[in-house]
Amino acid sequence: SSVPSITLHNGVTMPQLGFGVWQVPDDEAATVVTHALEAGYRSIDTAAVYENEKGTGRAIASSGVPREEVFLTTKLWNSEHGYDSTLRAFDASLDRLGTDYVDLYLIHWPLPMFDRYVETWRAFEKLYADGRVRAIGVSNFQPPHLERLLAETSAVPVINQIELHPRLQQEQSRTFHAAHGIATEAWSPLGQGKDILNDPVITKIAERHGKTAAQVILRWHLQLGNVVIPKSVTPSRIRENIDVFDFELPAEDLSALAGLESASRLGPDPSEMD
């Protein structure tokens, strides 16, 4: 069965499950994004700093899938915060992607110590007003950073992409987002494929459903309402990760998964990163 969409607060729809390409070299990106599109993914998550916008754009252009059927996300890197530098960085991303718009543009990190995310956001508002992006959002923002955008600017981010997996469930952020109509998008939704995939709580649930641990984790995200963007370069896993729409976790499985919270970050703390 096919991937459901969520409606962002500006009315734009986005597939709830997409494909992430962090750490995929540019010359491999074209191949893996082609595999993902063939497997049925219609949302691709890249970033300027991944240095694979070219390969990603090439795969989309040559896929035979119409551009308007692919939801393309890219992100502004940290070195480009500021109004004019954001506008320039956006042009450079479009150029590398080989397209004339992106569906979603995100501020990659808030860098609160640098303190230019409000000014950066004003440039995002301009790109949105000019119709060059269909939606604008943020990544790695914590409630105090979102509070500032809400207080000092007029556009509410449509989405916040944050580290989120069973060991870092982000209860506080999810509650804050829900209260403001901001969608929650999970990065490293599989905990980067590390030991969590062997957690006995998860493997037992997986066995019971005849699914894999990765599929159970993705299903958990979807049932919580999260947007997910799992990454893999292996064709069989790329297919496995989108094959999650033919089963449902009952409440008892969801509560067993809720019990895995351990405040374990894989990435940096956004409030300390500069």
244 binds ligand NAD (CB under 6 A): no
Please tell me the distance from the alpha carbon of residue 193 to that of residue 212, in angstroms, as a whole number. 12
Which of 148/237 has CB closer to ligand NAD? 237
To ligand NAD, the closest distance from the beta carbon of 263 in angstroms equals: 17
CA atoms of 273 and 112, how far apart (whole Å)? 8
190 is a site residue for ligand NAD (CB under 6 A): yes
Asked if 35 is part of the footprint of ligand NAD (rule: CB under 6 A), the reply reads: no
| Binding residue (CB under 6 A) for ligand NAD from 15, 16, 33, 45 | 45
The residue count for binding ligand NAD (CB under 6 A) is 26
- Helices (H), ranges, 68-225: 83-97, 117-129, 143-152, 171-180, 200-209, 213-224
Distance of alpha carbon 167 from alpha carbon 263, whole angstroms: 6
Q: Is 81 annotated as a binding residue?
A: no
Our answer to whether residue 50 is catalytic in this structure is yes
Task: Give a three-class secondary structure readout of 224-240.
Answer: HCCEECCCCCCHHHHHH
Residue type at 241? N
Q: Is 187 in the site for ligand NAD (CB under 6 A)?
A: yes
Binding site per annotation, positions for substrate = 108
Contacting positions for ligand NAD (CB under 6 A): 20-22, 45, 108, 139-140, 161, 187-193, 197, 212, 214, 229-232, 237, 240-241, 267
